[in-house]
Amino acid sequence: MSDSQVQVLAETAEAHEHVHPPYQRHHFETYAQQNDATNFAMWLFLLTEIMFFGGLFTAYLIFRNWYYPAFVSGSHQLNIPLGGLNTLLLITSSFTMAMGVWCAELRKKGALVLCLTLTFVLGMGFLMVKTFEYKEKIEKHHVPGFHYSLQSFLAPETDEAAMAAHDKPLPVDMARHTEVYFSLYFAMTGMHALHMIIGVSILAFMIVRAQAGAYTTGHVTYVENFGLYWHFVDIVWIFLFPLLYLISRH
C-alpha cells in the first residue's frame, strides 16, 4: 500500500469507519487490491491449465514423430470445413467476450447481455459441431477401445474421406498406430470440450446475473476473469486445430 493509503487508513480508523463497496470482501484493504488479487489468481489458474494440456501436447509430439504416416491418415478422417467452422466460431466468441468486458467497463448493461449471449451461442455452436463430428467417428468405429476398425486405413478405397485425401493403404503395423492418433484426438478435443462445457455453463449463469445488473456497477472483475478463462480455451483450440486437422493435405 502507498503512503497516502496509510494516511487515509489511519484517519478512517480514527473515525471508526471502514466504508467499502458491498462487493469488496473484508480481508482486502481496498477494492483495487481485491481486483488485482483475483485477476492474478485467475492467471495462475491458467498456468495450471497450460501445464495440464502440456502433458497431452508432449504425448502428441512424440507419437506424431514416431508414427507420422498413421497420423496423416488419421487426420484425413477429420473434416476440415467443420474444424475450420469451429475455429471461426471460437475466434468470434473470443471477440464477443472481449467486447463483453468492454461493455461491463463502460457499464452498458444491455450491450453486455448481448455480448455474453452471443458468446454463449457461439460456444454452444462449437459444441454442437463437435458432437456431430464425434457421432461421425463413432459410426465409423474410429473410437479407440470401442470396436476400433482399421478398415479405412487398410483399404482406403472403402472410405470416402480417405479417397478424398488420396490415401494409400497403410501396412498393418502402421494402421494399428492410427488408434494412438485417435486416442490423442479424443483425449485432447475431449478435454477441450469439457472446458467449453464448463465455460458455457458459467456463461449461462453470468447472462442471468448481467441482466440483473450485477456486472455494470463498476465491479467488472467477474466478467474480466471469466474472459481470461474463455480466451485461454480459445488459445488451446488455436493449437489443436492445425495439430490435429491440418497435418498434411498435400
Partner 1 sequence: MTENPEIPIDHESPEIHEREHHIVSPRIYVIILLALLVGTAITVWASYVDLGEWHAAPGLVIFWNPILALAIACTKATLVVLFFMHVKYGTKLTKLTIGAGVFTFLILVGMTLADYFTRAWGRW
Partner 2 sequence: MNFLSKEKGLLSWLLTGDHKRIATLYLVSITFFFFIGGALAGLIRLELLTPQSDLMATDTYNKVFTMHGIIMIFFFLVPSVPATLGNFFIPMMIGAKDLALPKINLLSWYLYMAAGCLGLYTMMTGGVDTGWTFTTPLSTHYVNTNVLTTGIAVFIAGFSSIFTGLNFIVTIHKMRAPGMTWFRLPLFVWSNYAASILMVLGTPVLAIAIVLVALERTIGIGVFDPTKGGDPLLFQHLFWFYSHPAVYIMILPGMGVISETVSTFSRKRVFGYTAVAFSSVAIAVFGFFVWAHHMFIMGISNYSTLIFSLLTMLVAVPSAIKIFNWSFTLYKGSITFETPMMYTFGFMGLFTIGGLTGVFLGTSGTDIHLTETYFIVAHFHFVMVGGMLMAFLAGIHYWWPKMTGRMYPEKISQLAALVTFIGFNFTFFPQFILGTLGMPRRYAAYPPEFQILNVFSTAGATILGVGYLLPILYLTWSLKYGEIAGNNPWQATGLEWQTQSPPLTENFPEIPIMDHEAYDYEWLDGQKEKEVASVG
Residues found near partner 1 in the complex (CB under 8 A): 1-7, 30, 32-33, 35-36, 39-40, 43-44, 46-47, 50-51, 54-55, 57-58, 61-62, 65-66, 80, 84, 87-88, 91-92, 94-95, 97-99, 102, 105-106, 224, 227-228, 231-232, 234-235, 238-239, 241-243, 246-250
Biggest CA pair distance of the chain: 85
Report yes or no: 25 and 34 within 8 Å, Cβ to Cβ: yes
Rounded Cα distance between 188 and 211, Å, is: 34
- The footprint of partner 2 (CB under 8 A) covers 1, 3, 5-6, 9, 13, 25-29, 33, 36-38, 40-41, 44-45, 47-49, 51-56, 58-59, 62-63, 66-67, 144-146, 173, 176-177, 179-180, 183-184, 187, 191
Q: Which partner in partner 1, partner 2, none is near 45 (CB below 5 to 8 A by kind)? A: partner 2
What's the closest the beta carbon of residue 67 comes to partner 2, in angstroms?
6
Could you tell me the CA-to-CA distances from 75 to 67, 177, 228, 241, 247 in Å, in that order?
Answer: 12, 12, 30, 11, 6
Q: How far is CA 46 from CA 40, 52, 54, 229, in A?
A: 10, 10, 12, 7
51, HSE (Cβ side, Cα atoms, 13 Å): 5
Min CB(95)–partner 1 separation in Å: 4
Among the residues of the chain, which ranges form H helices?
A: 3-14, 31-66, 68-76, 80-105, 109-139, 151-154, 160-164, 172-176, 178-211, 221-240
* Binding partner at 92 among partner 1, partner 2, none, C-beta below 5 to 8 Å by kind: partner 1
> Which one of partner 1, partner 2, none is in contact with 22 (Cβ closer than 5 to 8 A by kind)?
none
Cα dist. 118→82, 130, 153, 219 in Å?
20, 18, 40, 21
Nearer to partner 2, 61 or 163 (CB): 61
The site partner of 184 among partner 1, partner 2, none (C-beta below 5 to 8 Å per kind) is partner 2
Least separation in angstroms between CB 36 and partner 1? 4
